């Protein structure tokens, strides 16, 4: 991990203000949206209707270029909750259940230890057990009403009108849109559709509806702030308004571009605590890129609390009249891993002008096959599939369906829509090499656990009696440099060396298989390597060997291996196997019985709120298995209950 050994001057600044001021600490309120990009008027969005947020921004500190650490909720919220990148802790996969060691001190716990009363309203997607971190988890947008008298509070309040669910469903959006003030609905014919989508009436309706939902959220924020003022707490509370990641539509949520990572961030510091504001000012606009990884240490700095040394970020400012922190070359890092049942491994770095994205599994298209990105039930996906099947894609929308280059480089100053990949241009080689080196350094220093396939990450930690975070700190258990080199070589399409196939570390053996799959090798030597790997003692390696054989048409040995592997009951391994079956086989009828038996074992008893035992591995394993059955004509998409 990157140590944060600085002793921030803010603590001393607070103490110097005198005993009365030191005894008065601000309340901290986070108002967090789900799944929105900065589509507010104050950010210059031409289709926005957000009068309350615009007014709030006018008298606050507006961060024009703020970025989440991941383009999907749980890993992004994990970083917000713990102050560490999810990839360091093993919490990068959505959704998962990861043990964390006592040496990791989540933000809410640190605040509680220093006298704050803490509350969480709404979503609990942290990918780790958040029980005990908050004094209250009641469903209330005014949680401060429950706190003991005289205690400062920290409240993480989620306001969910803008989630991708209602954003992609007219039926689900109806309840929220009933609160939209008269005359505020967008005309679909007049909105500015982004170039990632074909210009169809349906996509225009969806785009207009999502902006309407943001207008509803604008009113929700006003309602909370009005109630804060009515309680006499507005002057005592520093308010952060933000989102967890980008818009809940394709090429936004789940995509590791500016569209998926850029979020609104507005911070209001009341006059009472003006001495804690950036530069001691009431308001400001900042074009410097900032990362949400810096928010946990920022909150602690504002509260006058020492920051744990292993926090990955630094305060955006340190109070006491200090200006916004400046660096000559700020670097913003992002990560994309498994989302639901769909695996991926991509990383990004942004230097304020150039965005560099590295895909370690470039053979996977952006629009992977499966239920969650299939034609049912999300309306945007249904329409994109319809256009694609009709052969009516635009050159830009066609990229959603094609394998990716292993590197992408965009000049956001010249190309803010990220339409022209410069990675292959000789004139950009120095920029690309610099950012690739920075990304490699970050992955190494933060001990990026995503380089291990998810089942292997947990198997390795469990075997050592450690949490994933602890396991990843030692090269003996996690030879990161060697694994990263193998992953980079595989993504470049290099043929694996002979020694890699029989390496003592199963992660290196797995990357050799990945390299052959990425390359699409079909030669006799590779076939023999895959057949031999079916006997590997590591089940993740066996599952990947079966996938590789099935992809190359060797279905008989693959089916035999999958028949055995489908009996695995360890949750993250079971999901890995199910997804391998779903993507590798066009016809699963020979193992239909095993698939249905595995799926039945994951269902909840009749009358349960959801059809699966849990909404993590059980649900996603069922999704993958259901997709395998649908592909083979054994089930219908409309019969699948989510």
- Helix H, strand E, coil C: the string for 401-452 is HCCCCCEEEEECCCCCCCCCCCCCCHHHHHHHHHHHHHHHHHHHHCCCHHHC
Is residue 221 a contact partner of residue 53, using CB atoms and an 8 Å limit? yes
What is the distance, to the nearest Å, from the Cα of residue 93 to the centroid of all Cα atoms in its chain? 8
Given a cut of 70, whether residue 641 has pLDDT beyond it is: no
- Residue 327 token pair: 């660096």
pLDDT digits (tens, 9 = 90+) for 236-260: 999 999 999 999 999 999 999 999 9
**Is 15 or 260 the better-scoring residue by pLDDT?**
260
Residue partners of 333: CB distance under 8 A and separation at least 6: 69, 85, 291, 293, 347, 348, 349, 350, 439, 442
Token duo for residue 443 = 């992955």
Cα separation, 295 vs 293, whole angstroms: 6
How high does pLDDT run on average in the chain? 92
209, 499, 566 from 508: Cα distances, Å: 47, 10, 24
Pairing state between β 153-159 and 27-33: parallel
Closest of 260, 244, 340, 248 to residue 293, by C-alpha:
244
Locus of tokens 């989102």 = 243
CA 274 to chain CA centroid, Å, is 33
- pLDDT tens, 534-587? 999 999 999 999 999 999 999 999 999 999 999 999 999 999 999 999 999 999
Instruction: Judge whether 34 and 162 are in contact, CB under 8 Å.
Output: yes
Is the Cα dihedral 14, 19, 25, 26 positive or negative? negative
For the residues of 105-129, what is the DSSP string, one character each?
--HHHHHHHTT-EEEEES----SB-
Contact at 8 Å (CB) between 320 and 275? yes
| 469 pLDDT tier (thresholds 50, 70, 90) | very high
Task: Give residue-wise pLDDT tens across range 502-528.
Answer: 999 999 999 999 999 999 999 999 999
Handedness of CA 250, 254, 255, 260 (dihedral sign): positive
pLDDT at 624: 96
C-alpha to C-alpha distances, 89 to 127, 310, 559, nearest whole angstrom: 10, 12, 35
Phi then psi dihedrals of residue 334, to 5 deg:
-140, 160
Spatial distance between the Cα atoms of 458 and 540, rounded to a whole number of angstroms: 11
Q: How far is CA 460 from the centre of its chain?
A: 24
pLDDT tens, position by position, 289-336: 999 999 999 999 999 999 999 999 999 987 666 677 776 568 999 999
Q: DSSP code of 185?
A: -
Measured between alpha carbons, how far is 581 from 558 in angstroms, rounded to an integer? Answer: 9
**CA distance linking residue 115 with residue 165, whole number of Å:** 37
Between CA 475 and CA 489 the distance in angstroms is 20
What's the pLDDT at 1? 42
The reported pLDDT for the residue numbered 636 is 80
Backbone angles phi, psi at 597, to 5 degrees: -65, -40
Let me know: does 620 contact 642? Beta carbons within 8 Å. no
Instruction: Specify the pairing of strand 117-121 against strand 153-159.
Output: parallel
Q: How far is it, in rounded angstroms, from Cα 27 to Cα 519?
A: 55
- Radius of gyration over every alpha carbon of the chain, rounded to an integer in angstroms: 25
Determine contact, residues 117/135, Cβ cutoff 8 Å.
yes
Task: Please check whether residue 419 is in contact with residue 506, taking contact to mean a CB–CB distance below 8 angstroms.
Answer: no
Stretch 625-633: mean pLDDT: 94
What's the distance, Cα to Cα, between the start and end of the chain in Å?
38
| Strand runs labelled E in 244-307 | 262-268, 284-286, 290-291
d(CA 136, CA 340): 28
Residues 56, 241: contact at Cβ < 8 Å? yes
- The DSSP annotation for 605-627 comes to PTT-SSSBS-TTHHHHHHHHHHH
Tell me the CA distances in angstroms from 275 to 92, 278, 635, one per residue in order.
37, 8, 63
Alpha carbon distance 432, 408 (integer Å) = 9
Q: Is the pTM above the cut of 0.75?
A: yes
Residues in a beta bridge with 30: 156, 240
- What's the pLDDT tens digit per position in 356-415? 999 999 999 999 999 887 666 789 999 999 999 999 999 999 999 999 999 999 999 999
Mean pLDDT of 586-603: 96
pLDDT in tens, 475-492: 999 999 999 999 999 999
Q: What is the pLDDT of residue 640?
A: 67
pLDDT digits (tens, 9 = 90+) for 56-93: 999 999 999 999 999 999 999 999 999 999 999 999 99
In terms of phi and psi (left: phi > 0; alpha: psi -120 to 50; beta: otherwise), the region of 29 is beta
Residue 357 phi, psi (nearest 5): -120, 130
- The pLDDT of residue 249 is 96
What's 327's DSSP letter?
-
Cβ 12 vs Cβ 139: under 8 Å: no
Q: Please name the helix (run of DSSP H) or strand (run of DSSP E) that holds residue 457, with its range, or none.
A: helix 454-463
- Residue 33: φ, ψ to 5°: -90, 160
- Per DSSP, 150 falls in state T
Look at residue 19 in the predicted model and tell me its pLDDT.
28
- Two tokens at 332? 């913003």
Residue 2 reports pLDDT greater than 90? no
Can you give the pLDDT at residue 207?
97
Q: What is the pLDDT of residues 112-149, one digit of tens each?
A: 999 999 999 988 888 988 888 999 999 999 999 999 99
Confidence band, pLDDT 50/70/90 cuts, at residue 11: very low
CA angle 17, 18, 22 (to 5 degrees): 80
Q: What is the pLDDT of residues 327-351, one digit of tens each?
A: 656 899 999 999 999 999 999 999 9
Q: In the prediction, which pLDDT does 602 show?
A: 96
């Amino acid at each position: 991990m990157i140590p944060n050994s600085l002793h921030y001057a803010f603590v001393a600044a607070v103490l110097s203000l005198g005993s009365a001021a030191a005894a008065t600490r601000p309340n901290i309120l986070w108002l967090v949206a789900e799944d929105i990009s900065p589509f507010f008027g104050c950010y210059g969005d031409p289709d926005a209707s957000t009068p309350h947020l615009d007014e709030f921004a006018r008298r606050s500190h507006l961060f024009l270029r703020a970025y989440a650490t991941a383009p999907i909720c749980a890993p992004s919220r994990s970083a917000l909750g713990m102050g560490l990148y999810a990839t360091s802790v093993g919490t990068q996969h959505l959704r998962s259940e990861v043990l964390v060691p006592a040496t990791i001190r989540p933000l809410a716990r640190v605040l509680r230890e220093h006298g704050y009363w803490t509350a969480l309203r709404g979503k609990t997607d942290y990918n780790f057990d958040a029980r005990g971190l908050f004094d209250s988890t009641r469903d209330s947008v005014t949680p401060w009403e429950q706190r003991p008298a005289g205690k400062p509070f920290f409240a993480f309040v989620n306001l969910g009108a803008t989630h991708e669910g209602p954003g992609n469903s007219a039926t689900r959006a109806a309840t929220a849109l009933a609160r939209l003030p008269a005359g505020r609905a967008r005309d679909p014919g007049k909105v500015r559709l982004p170039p990632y989508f074909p210009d169809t009436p349906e996509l225009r309706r969806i785009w207009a509806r999502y902006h309407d939902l943001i207008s509803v959220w604008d009113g929700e924020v006003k309602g909370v702030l009005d109630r804060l003022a009515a309680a006499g707490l507005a002057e005592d509370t520093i308010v952060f308004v933000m989102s967890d990641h980008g818009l809940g539509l394709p090429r936004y949520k789940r995509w590791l571009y500016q569209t998926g990572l850029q979020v609104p961030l507005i911070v209001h510091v009341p006059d009472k605590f003006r001495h804690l504001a950036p530069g001691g000012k009431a308001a400001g606009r900042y074009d410097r890129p900032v990362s949400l990884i810096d928010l946990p240490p920022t909150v602690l700095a504002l509260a006058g609390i020492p920051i744990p040394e292993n926090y990955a970020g630094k305060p955006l400012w340190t109070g006491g009249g200090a200006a916004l922190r400046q660096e000559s070359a700020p670097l913003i890092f992002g990560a994309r891993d498994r989302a639901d049942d769909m695996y991926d491994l991509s990383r990004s770095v942004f230097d304020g002008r150039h965005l560099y994205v590295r895909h370690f599994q470039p053979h996977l298209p952006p629009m992977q096959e499966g239920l969650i990105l299939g034609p049912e039930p999300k309306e945007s996906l249904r329409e994109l599939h319809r256009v694609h099947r009709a052969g009516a894609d635009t050159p830009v929308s066609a990229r959603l369906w094609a394998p990716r280059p292993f590197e992408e480089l965009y000049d956001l100053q010249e190309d803010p829509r990220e339409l022209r990949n410069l990675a292959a241009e000789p004139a950009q080689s120095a920029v690309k090499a610099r950012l690739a080196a920075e990304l490699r350094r970050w992955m190494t220093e933060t001990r990026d656990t995503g380089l291990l396939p998810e089942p292997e990450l947990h198997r390795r930690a469990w075997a050592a009696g450690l949490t994933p975070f602890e396991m990843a700190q030692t090269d003996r258990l996690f030879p990161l440099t060697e694994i990263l080199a193998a992953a980079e070589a595989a993504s470049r399409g290099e043929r694996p060396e002979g020694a890699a196939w029989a390496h003592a570390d199963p992660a290196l053996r797995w990357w050799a298989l990945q390299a052959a799959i990425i390359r699409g090798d079909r030669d006799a030597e590779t076939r023999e390597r895959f057949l031999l790997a079916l006997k590997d003692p590591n089940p993740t390696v066996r599952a990947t060997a079966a996938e590789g054989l099935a992809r190359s048409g060797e279905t008989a040995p693959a089916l035999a291996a999958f028949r055995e592997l489908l009996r695995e009951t360890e949750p993250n391994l079971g999901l890995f196997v199910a997804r391998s079956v779903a993507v590798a086989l066009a016809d699963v009828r020979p193992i239909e019985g095993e698939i249905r038996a595995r799926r039945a074992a994951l269902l909840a008893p009749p009358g349960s709120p959801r059809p699966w035992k849990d909404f993590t591995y059980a649900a996603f394993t069922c999704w993958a298995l259901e997709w395998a059955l649908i592909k083979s004509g054994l089930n219908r998409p409309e019969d699948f209950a989510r």
